[in-house]
Amino acid sequence: MRHWRIQNFETIDSTNLEAKRQASAETFENSWIVADSQTAGRGRIARKWVSEPGNLYTTALFHEPGGLSTAMRLPFATALAVRDTIVSVSPKIDARLKWPNDVRIAHQKMCGILIETGQTGDNAWVAVGVGINLTSSPDVPDKPATCGLALDGNAEWGRDSVLGTLMAKFEIRLAQAREGFESVRKDWLKHAEGLGETVSVNTPQGALEGVFEDMDSTGGLILRLPTGERRIISSGDVNLIGMA
């Protein structure tokens, strides 16, 4: 991974969109695509990702020999890599992981992750989009956010420095994910936000409330309903009761 190509853009619509354009060619190189700012940054569920200059906007585009089974582990492995990065820059920050793929500090979002996959010829590709608030955070109603500078003004939040750390941490976590999911699952749960607490989950089938009890072998959130039934959630938005 240290030999992956780094592509720098001043302004781009979205690093993930650029990754998908490049992935349409069977001969694309494993790369980190980096932008100073984005005009059409995206988060999960087609949400807009505000992309002010000074923060980190990047996508790792790579061939994935493990195919979809490995790609399904990457939201969790990437969140761990981002947490590893933040803690490396500032050990005082207690970064927590919000299911499935946000990184938050004191219930405020610092990083979003967007994983997209596809097939070109016989090869699977993965685009791992990461947006980290380094020097500023967006003011979005009901979506509290924070940035590294606000949390620790004495730490080094330069984009290139943080990118270098992220690349090294992601290399480790990608190798871990390729070995299997169980160790990723255990590491992720050590830093999970809301584990053992009552949460609300907005699913495509409707809202549910229960105790965030565990995560299963595929990354599904195990929710203990008030009736005692255990429900496995494969997609949705999770919020602590009384928190955004």
Q: What is the pLDDT of residue 52?
A: 77
Task: Collapse the DSSP code of 117 into the 3-class scheme (helix H, G, I; strand E, B; otherwise coil) and give the result.
Answer: strand
Task: Collapse the DSSP code of 188 into the 3-class scheme (helix H, G, I; strand E, B; otherwise coil) and give the result.
Answer: helix
Q: Are 134 and 166 in contact (CB under 8 A)?
A: no
Q: What is the pLDDT of residue 26?
A: 74
End-to-end CA distance of the chain: 36
Q: Are 148 and 96 in contact (CB under 8 A)?
A: no
Q: What is the pLDDT of residue 46?
A: 47
**Cα atoms in the Cβ-side hemisphere of radius 13 Å centred on 236:** 22
Q: What is the pLDDT of residue 45?
A: 44
**Cα atoms in the Cβ-side hemisphere of radius 13 Å centred on 56:** 31
Q: What is the pLDDT of residue 90?
A: 98
Rounded (5°) CA angle 123-124-127 = 135
Rounded distance, CA 63 to CA 139, Å? Answer: 36
Q: What are phi and psi of 136, to 5 degrees?
A: -155, 160
Q: What are phi and psi of 89, to 5 degrees?
A: -70, -40
Per-residue pLDDT tens digits of the chain, which is 244 residues long: 568 999 999 999 999 999 999 998 878 999 999 999 888 766 544 455 556 789 999 999 999 999 989 999 999 999 999 999 999 999 999 999 999 889 999 999 999 999 999 987 778 999 999 999 999 998 877 789 999 999 999 999 999 999 999 999 999 999 999 999 999 999 999 999 999 999 999 888 889 999 999 999 999 999 999 999 999 999 888 988 755 4
Q: Please, what are the domains in the chain? A: 5-190 (3.30.930.10), 198-240 (2.30.30.100)
Rounded distance, CA 144 to CA 137, Å? Answer: 9
Residue ranges in the chain assigned as alpha helix (H):
15-23, 67-71, 74-89, 148-151, 159-179, 182-190
